[in-house]
Amino acid sequence: MANRMILNETAWFGRGAVGSLTDEVKRRGYQKALIVTDKTLVQCGVVAKVIDKMDAAGLAWAIYDGVVPNPTITVVKEGLDVFQNSGADYLIAIGGGSPQDTCKAIGIISNNPEFADVRSLEGLSPTNKPSVPILAIPTTAGTAAEVTINYVITDEEKRRKFVCVDPHDIPQVAFIDADMMDGMPPALKAATGVDALTHAIEGYITRGAWALTDALHIKAIEIIAGALRGSVAGDKDAGEEMALGQYVAGMGFSNVGLGLVHGMAHPLGAFYNTPHGVANAILLPACHAL
């Protein structure tokens, strides 16, 4: 049986990795970015860390900061409209899973307009063209959306979340920079860290697992188990380890799938707007006691 692995074209790791963004943009010949993020990250100065570098390099940009937790179809459509009217030719996702997922949906629909209803992307999305180029900058150590071929959107009318799986949506470049994650409050570090741990555990035991993904998931569990408590307590070295561990988990589970915990966590998010990492933390012990 043949096993497929899909990963970013390029990934930069370590503190200061975002400093490589401007060179990547120039090397690829991109002209103008739409930055997809949320208002909190703008207000607390995280987005400015990227914008300041782009301004210094003379790179053009616009911004959509309307992303909300558990992003909805409405948010995707709003972001798509901003992109189409911005003159941008590539996307920069700055944030946790919600901005990353919103950015993927915008990029996919922009190049595959037949899916403008968003709902028709559910499941194995039958798109024909790759997404608009995406550069991904995670600000949480958890979702690993910057390296996955999955994204999750909430249907607010039907009160349900749906998963879209599409090799066309993976960001071209990821910047795994713990400097962009240090500002997370302890509760968010804990929740997103448990999300990463859940990815590694479920990816290891899923039916699609094989030797390479097993190696990735075992290593991810080792890193996360050793760093999560310290990261929550504010240890910067542990925070950098978490940034790496969650990415390693994403390399694995994106290519083999997850399990019951995530299958149940998504309805919790849709019905009660439960943060995804918190939902996983509630469900992980119970599901693995079965």
**Can you give the CATH number for the domain in which 24 is found?**
3.40.50.1970
> Do 57 and 158 fall within a single domain?
yes
- 3 occurs within a structural domain: no
Which H/E stretch holds residue 61?
strand 60-64
What is the distance between the alpha carbons of residues 194 and 188, in angstroms, rounded to a whole number?
10
> Do 191 and 175 fall within a single domain?
no
Report pLDDT for 270. 80
The structure's pTM equals 0.95
> Do 215 and 128 fall within a single domain?
no
Band of the pLDDT at 275, cuts 50, 70, 90? confident
- 142 occurs within a structural domain: yes
> Do 144 and 209 fall within a single domain?
no
- 193 occurs within a structural domain: yes
> Do 111 and 227 fall within a single domain?
no
Q: Which of 83-87, 220-224, 268-272 has the lowest mean pLDDT?
A: 268-272
Give the pLDDT confidence of 111-148 residue by residue, as tens digits. 999 999 999 999 999 999 999 999 999 999 999 999 99
Give the pLDDT confidence of 160-182 residue by residue, as tens digits. 889 999 999 999 999 999 999 99
> Do 17 and 56 fall within a single domain?
yes
> Do 148 and 212 fall within a single domain?
no
Report pLDDT for 290. 67
> Do 92 and 192 fall within a single domain?
no
Report pLDDT for 289. 76
User: How many structural domains is the chain composed of?
Assistant: 2
Q: Which domain holds residue 268?
A: 186-287
Which of these three, 180, 197, 217, is where a domain ends? 180
Report pLDDT for 238. 98
- 267 occurs within a structural domain: yes
241 pLDDT exceeds 80? yes
Give the pLDDT confidence of 24-68 residue by residue, as tens digits. 999 999 999 999 999 999 999 999 999 999 999 999 999 999 999
> Do 176 and 190 fall within a single domain?
no
- 44 occurs within a structural domain: yes
> Do 33 and 171 fall within a single domain?
yes
Which of these three, 149, 180, 211, is where a domain ends? 180
> Do 77 and 170 fall within a single domain?
yes
154 pLDDT exceeds 80? yes
In the numeric block, the tokens 């707007």 are attached to 273
Give the pLDDT mean for 75-88: 98
Give the pLDDT mean for 220-244: 98
> Do 245 and 280 fall within a single domain?
yes
Give the pLDDT mean for 195-210: 96
74 pLDDT exceeds 70? yes
- 1 occurs within a structural domain: no
Which of these three, 130, 147, 180, is where a domain ends? 180
Give the pLDDT confidence of 100-112 residue by residue, as tens digits. 999 999 999 999 9
- 162 occurs within a structural domain: yes
At 135 the three-state DSSP class reads strand
Give the pLDDT mean for 187-194: 96
CATH of the domain at 203: 1.20.1090.10
- 67 occurs within a structural domain: yes
